[in-house]
Chains A and B, each alone.
Chain A
Amino acid sequence: MTSVASPEPAAGRREVRPGGWLAWLGATDHKRIGLLTLGTSLVLLFLMGVLALLMRSQLAQPDEHVFDPHTYNQLFTIHGSGMIYLVLTPFAIGLGVYLVPLQIGAPAIALPRTTLLAYWLYAVGAVVMLSGFATTGGAHASGWFSYPPLADSEYEPGAGSDLWIAGVVMSAVGMILMGWAVLWTALRKRPDGMTMLRMPVFTWSMVATCLMVVGAFPSLLAAMALLAVGRGDPSVFASNVWNIGYQHLFWFYGHPVVYVMFFPYLGAVSEVLAVFSGRRFFGYKGTVLSLLAFAGLSMSVWGHHMFTTGQAADDYYSLMSIVLLIPAGVEYFGMLGTILSGRLRLRTPMLFALAFIPQFLIGGLTGIMVGTPVVDYHVTDSYFVVAHLHYVLFAGSAFGLFAAVYFWFPKATGMMLDERLGKLHFWLAVAGANLTFLPMFGLGYLGMPRRVSTYSPFDGFGRLNLLASIGAGILALSMAVFAVNIIGTLNRRALHGSEHQAPDDPWEGHTLEWATSSPPPSLNFTPEHPLPPIGSFAPLLDLREQAGPAVPGQAEGPA
């Protein structure tokens, strides 16, 4: 709210109504900026999903020509760019903007006006990128990593590509600023008692994430600057050093961003697993340490995206990539240890968190395979890689995203999402995601390159593609259920007001955000909702343990 920045409106200025749209668009309250970011990226998630559906409709059968190749190339380019630059990254960091101040017990975010600027850079960047569809040449069509010389003005002359670069730069600058704000909040805005090793796992995941954002995202800006220069004068790319140099700059950003789109969801899943297991997160210190090690290593493996360029050191990059399995394994130890010694309540957030474990694992294990040059020379740039990255980002991260939405929705809105619709959403999403992405491993192995707008009947890709397209249809259905659940719940609030008010702590949470009201007041903690004493990374659990021997979760009964 504006009152954070200027407690008393200056004389002669119009007063801004707290609930009005102007108060939202100019909010400096981290919760409002967080919700704006989360809401914007959710809307874009649906839009990018529609683009994916259009692609799957074209690929369902061989020799289909629903779209001409140029249109198809725009679809996959904007789907990939949108999901990475405009959905999974902003949602991850937006979650941090909303939650980190609450979880550490701070009244506000550090740098609130910078955070607001960051949101607007991101939102306008998204509009700029998508406005390419309205230009005569159509949107950008060189893929989300847009290697030159294909992406220079000689081979891709349309204004859509210029808009794409502008959009990527704006949203990336926005994410860097937001990353700094969240990082600074966690490091410098903690109240007395909240030591670093009492920060919740999610907050730690945001610290590691923001370190990668501020360390690696500037490299994306450098890559975009190089591409912009090359669009001014394509002769720049007549020299191989700039072509391969672009790839180095890009992947120096492009690998850490994968973990930027993974850690916050892992953090969210860890919180959900702990709460619905009725115990504190198991192996906290190991997980924190592994997150930091993971973030450090992530900056040294980018060349594994470039084995087939013939211009990257195979051994070094593959060996560094394999070492990543150590911190990843430690994180799995924590998650599995938590559920193995817990008392599980299978509510919707927990279902998504549980499915995250094996589904993300498929993405991770195949990641070790594609990080091995001998294997990568066959499967890179094929549908095998498409399957791998969708297991990581959709079957993994997006499931974490859904878990986070169901888990924190009552806190943010004061309304519970519908449990039956949530479970329907979950089962359709599990069936849809696996039916869509599992066949793609086979397609890649058989020889289907990624980014093809169609294939011939003689290739033998028809049956697996049809399965994948049917899966995409099921996923679309699950997303429709998700939309109905959210919109319906918000409508109910509009119609019935506080009748369906969610309790402050509907899940028996562990962390400080559950100690305040739902939704939290503008400065997060008030005399009616004071900050509880902080003695560990699960202060609310400590309070319940002190209060009595009651088994957590019993009040609510079995799920």
Chain B
Amino acid sequence: MTHRQVFGQVFTVESAIAGAVFVAVLGLLLYSVVRRRAAAGATPSQRAELPGPEKFYVGVLIAVAAFLVAWTAWQNHRETHEHAAGAPVVVDVTAYQWCWAFTYPGDGGGSPSAPPPTTPPTAPQSPCLAGHYPTLVVPTGRTVRVRITSADVIHSLWVPELRYKMDAFPHHVNTFTLTVDRQGRWIGRCAEFCGERHYAMHFWFKAVSPRQYAAWAHSHSGTGQAGASA
């Protein structure tokens, strides 16, 4: 399952539960306002509590909480990459004020020989400008391992279409794995506030077929380019 699919299921189930709870509470509220109004001739009960129903209700709450705890704990680890073929593609991402640099340490092909970057490449490069956003190219159907760091402040790489983001910290490398199951080109954004041009720190995320990817990697081999136009 890709992260997007897991997100879709969890979001749907939680929205349904939340919606049901909301409708129930709103219903009780409206019932009270209509039927228990002074104008409707209601008389107040002075019963201080209903220990029986309350205990039952707490039991229900505990059951719901236990279900959600168990279920989300399961969902947290449900993202798998079993359908991915071949060695993982490694991409190194360096965020900086205010753009992104993408490098492919294995020459875009296979697993990297070099360890993850501990010192970020020297910034600054030019800021992301409309029409010149850098592109992160990945093949579909293969595991992509992203190693992300920052050259200055904290940023966050977010591709809304993938329903996923991960922070880029300076002096620290975060690694995450993803698989993309269809081709397309989607906008990526910086989600962590990072200063003046935070609002414009965009990039393109492009998923292509493994064949196109091999051709692209070949044509870019050796350059390992940031902001490769694709």
Contacts and interface: CB of A to CB of B under 8 A. Distances in A.
B160 A447 contact: yes
Interface string B189-227: 111111111110000000000000000000000000000
Interface string A100-141: 000000000000000000000000000000000000000000
A447 B65 contact: no
Interface in B148-207: 152-154, 156, 158, 160-161, 163-167, 169-172, 174-176, 187, 189-199
B73 interface: yes
Contact of B154 (A149, A374, A375): A149
Interface in B46-61: 46-50, 54, 57-58, 61
Contacts of B176: 310
A358 to B, nearest CB: 5
Nearest to A325: B65
Contacts of B29: 336, 339, 354, 357-358
B2 to A, nearest CB: 12
B21 A149 contact: no
Interface string B10-54: 110011001001100110110111001111001111111110001
Contact of B33 (A283, A346, A382): A346
B45 A377 contact: no
Given A319-B73, A373-B76, A381-B192, A283 B44 contact: no
Interface string B89-103: 000000001000000
A323 B68 CA distance: 9
B3 interface: yes
A305 to B, nearest CB: 12
Contacts of B191: 308, 380-382, 449-450
B166 A315 contact: no
Interface stretch (A6-14, A220-228, A517-525, A551-559): A551-559
A404 interface: no
B61 A369 contact: no
Contacts of A318: 72-73, 76
Interface in B112-146: 130
Interface in A361-399: 361-362, 365-366, 368-369, 372-375, 377-378, 380-382
A451 B193 contact: yes
Contacts of A382: 158, 191
Contacts of B197: 69
Contacts of B199: 69, 449, 452-455
A377 to B, nearest CB: 5
A322 interface: yes
A336 B195 CA distance: 45
B228 interface: no
A240 B73 contact: no
A451 B190 CA distance: 11
A150 B36 contact: no
Interface in A271-313: 277-280, 282-286, 308-311
A372 B10 contact: yes
Contacts of A553: 38, 44
A339 B198 contact: no
Contact of A449 (B50, B78, B158): B158
A237 B199 CA distance: 24
B87 interface: no
Residues of A contacting B: mostly: helix
A545 B45 CA distance: 12
B129 to A, nearest CB: 12
B27 to A, nearest CB: 10
Contacts of A559: 37-39
B80 interface: no
Nearest to B21: A365
A559 B28 CA distance: 20
A544 B26 CA distance: 32
Interface in A420-441: none
Given A279-B44, A365-B18, A344 B156 contact: no
Interface residues of B, number: 77
Contacts of A322: 65, 68-69, 72
A343 interface: yes
Given A149-B154, A375-B11, A308 B38 contact: no
B71 to A, nearest CB: 9
A446 interface: yes
B84 interface: no
A326 interface: yes
Interface in A321-370: 322-323, 325-326, 329-330, 332-333, 336-337, 339-346, 354, 357-358, 361-362, 365-366, 368-369
A343 B54 contact: no
Contacts of B36: 277, 339-344
Interface of B: 3, 6-7, 10-11, 14-15, 18, 21-22, 25-26, 28-29, 31-33, 36-39, 42-50, 54, 57-58, 61-62, 64-65, 68-69, 72-73, 75-76, 78, 97, 130, 152-154, 156, 158, 160-161, 163-167, 169-172, 174-176, 187, 189-199
18 contacts: A150-B195, A155-B153, A238-B170, A279-B46, A282-B47, A283-B49, A310-B169, A315-B73, A322-B69, A330-B57, A339-B29, A344-B33, A369-B14, A373-B72, A375-B10, A382-B158, A449-B189, A557-B38
List 10 tightest A-B contacts by C-beta distance, closest first: A447-B160, A452-B199, A310-B174, A365-B18, A558-B39, A341-B45, A378-B163, A279-B44, A240-B172, A381-B191
Interface of A: 69-70, 73, 142-143, 147, 149-150, 155, 237-240, 243-244, 277-280, 282-286, 308-311, 314-315, 318-319, 322-323, 325-326, 329-330, 332-333, 336-337, 339-346, 354, 357-358, 361-362, 365-366, 368-369, 372-375, 377-378, 380-382, 446-447, 449-456, 459, 545, 551-553, 557-559
Given A70-B196, A329-B61, A372-B72, 13 more contacts: A142-B193, A155-B195, A283-B54, A309-B169, A329-B58, A330-B54, A330-B61, A341-B47, A357-B29, A361-B25, A365-B22, A377-B164, A447-B189
